[in-house]
Amino acid sequence: MSYATGLRCRKCGQEYPLQPIKICDFCLSPVEVNYDYKAMAGVVSHQKISEGPFTMWRYRDLLPVEDKREIDIGTGFTPLLKADNLGRELGLDKLYIKNDCVNPTYSFKDRAVSVAITKAREFGFDTIACASTGNLAASVAAHAAKANMKSYVFVPANVEPGKLVGVAIYKPNLVTVDGSYDDVNRLCAEVAQRYNWGFININLRPYYAEGSKTLGFEVAEQLGWQPPDCVVVPAASGLLFTRIWKGLQELSTLKLIGAVNTHMYLTQASGSSPIVHAFEAGSLHVHPVTPNTIVTSIAIGNPADGYHALMVARQSGGGASSATDEEAIQGMKLLAQTEGIFAEAAGGVVIAGLKKLAAAGAIKKDQLTVAFITGAGPRTQEIVSDVVQSFHVQPNLESFSKVLDVQV
């Protein structure tokens, strides 16, 4: 059984039953799932969780699903690695990397989609849909394949076909729309009103959001049931950032960890950094921008959870940092060349942001810090194609020794 009791508006507090709804009817703000933590506390324990599967579903009691047959493609419980080499570069003694690149479709989106699609089936939907060209689309299509559900992925018609291979391989219904991203979003909103489908980023968003909490749960468990001192998280809509915080708070409420004194830092690409702008300006409103960055997986100009992300950064004594495209690429290379992890550009933004925060003394040498790497690099590997620099030799030892200047 689930301990979810309903949905509540994060802005005005209006409550709703657990239904597929997109936003608060009154103030048009995002809604989130509420739980009966008292009842939940009577059931969850370190031991019960440790006896669960080595996937995100070991935290089933803390998720809003009733169905025992969750739609799982093997997501979660990804490695938390002590990053000594990178730590030395940045002057941090207790640096860890949470490597979510190794999820089934190579990004953290699998966590969110696994919960959303399980919930979609509970609601009776036989079709699931989203608007995305990247990680989200791949995850939705893969989970729909596993669940034997129909899926529709909406993309602008001018997206390069090569970019869609990692999505099309799962055989969703791929809908190419003559128009911009705004047009695609608008069409999706209209389709969602007309058809009885589960839209990941519309009527399933409150449930999708809950899956992201498991990143916070896992890190705390992998650290021996303690919260980190600092975390650095990439931010697009701000949803992941706020849900890692919510995950840590829930563990504390349930007395599975102590008080949470984690300093929450978010990072964005400079070309799409409305939350960082607002943080630096001391504003509580995130003014939309038009994204202009190669870091497409976090390029959202009008972040739906921007206000809440700002509040978390402030309340936790954390902050916000941005990185240029060039810094992001350097960050990708630094992570790969120190820790052997090939992240997407958003991971480069995290490493670049971490580097700045450490250099500025915001994150201190002895603080236990976790950097969240949320997507793998190969899907967009063309942005670092300049790394291919080889030694050209003839097929004989003499040439090899000469070119590489290696003595036999």
- Per-residue interface string for the shown chain with other proteins, residues 97-116, x marking contact by CB under 8 A: ------------x-------
Helix (H, G, I), strand (E, B) or coil at 44: coil
Closest by CA to 254, choosing from 221, 232, 207, 205, is 221
**262 DSSP 8-state letter:** P
Q: Is the dihedral of CA 176, 180, 185, 187 positive or negative?
A: negative
Closest by CA to 376, choosing from 56, 113, 86, 135, is 135
Residues 17, 6: Cα–Cα separation, whole Å: 5
Residues 290, 7: Cα–Cα separation, whole Å: 31
Q: Is 130 a residue that touches other proteins (CB under 8 A)?
A: yes
Closer residue to other proteins in complex, CB, 133/369: 133
Are 365 and 385 in contact by the 8 Å Cβ rule? The answer is no
Among the residue ranges 60-68, 78-86, 98-106, 133-141, the one whose residues contact other proteins (CB under 8 A):
133-141
Amino acid at 108: F
Beta strand 15-16 pairing with 4-9: antiparallel
Among the residue ranges 18-26, 47-55, 257-265, 361-369, the one whose residues contact other proteins (CB under 8 A):
18-26
Closer residue to other proteins in complex, CB, 83/164: 164
Interface pick for other proteins out of 53, 258, 288, 378 (rule CB under 8 A): 288
Among the residue ranges 24-32, 52-60, 166-174, 351-359, the one whose residues contact other proteins (CB under 8 A):
24-32
Q: What are phi and psi of 266, to 5 degrees?
A: -110, 150
User: How many amino acids of this chain bind other proteins (CB under 8 A)?
Assistant: 42
Closer residue to other proteins in complex, CB, 98/205: 205
Q: Is 243 a residue that touches other proteins (CB under 8 A)?
A: no
Residues 351, 328: Cα–Cα separation, whole Å: 8
Closer residue to other proteins in complex, CB, 23/257: 23
Q: Restricting to residues 202-241, which ones interact with other proteins according to CB under 8 A?
A: 202, 205, 236-237
Among the residue ranges 39-47, 120-128, 301-309, 396-404, the one whose residues contact other proteins (CB under 8 A):
301-309
Q: Please count the helices (runs of H) and the strands (runs of E) in the chain.
A: 15, 13
Residues near other proteins, by CB under 8 A: 11, 22-23, 26-29, 109, 130-136, 181-182, 184-186, 188-190, 193, 200-202, 205, 236-237, 285, 287-288, 296-304
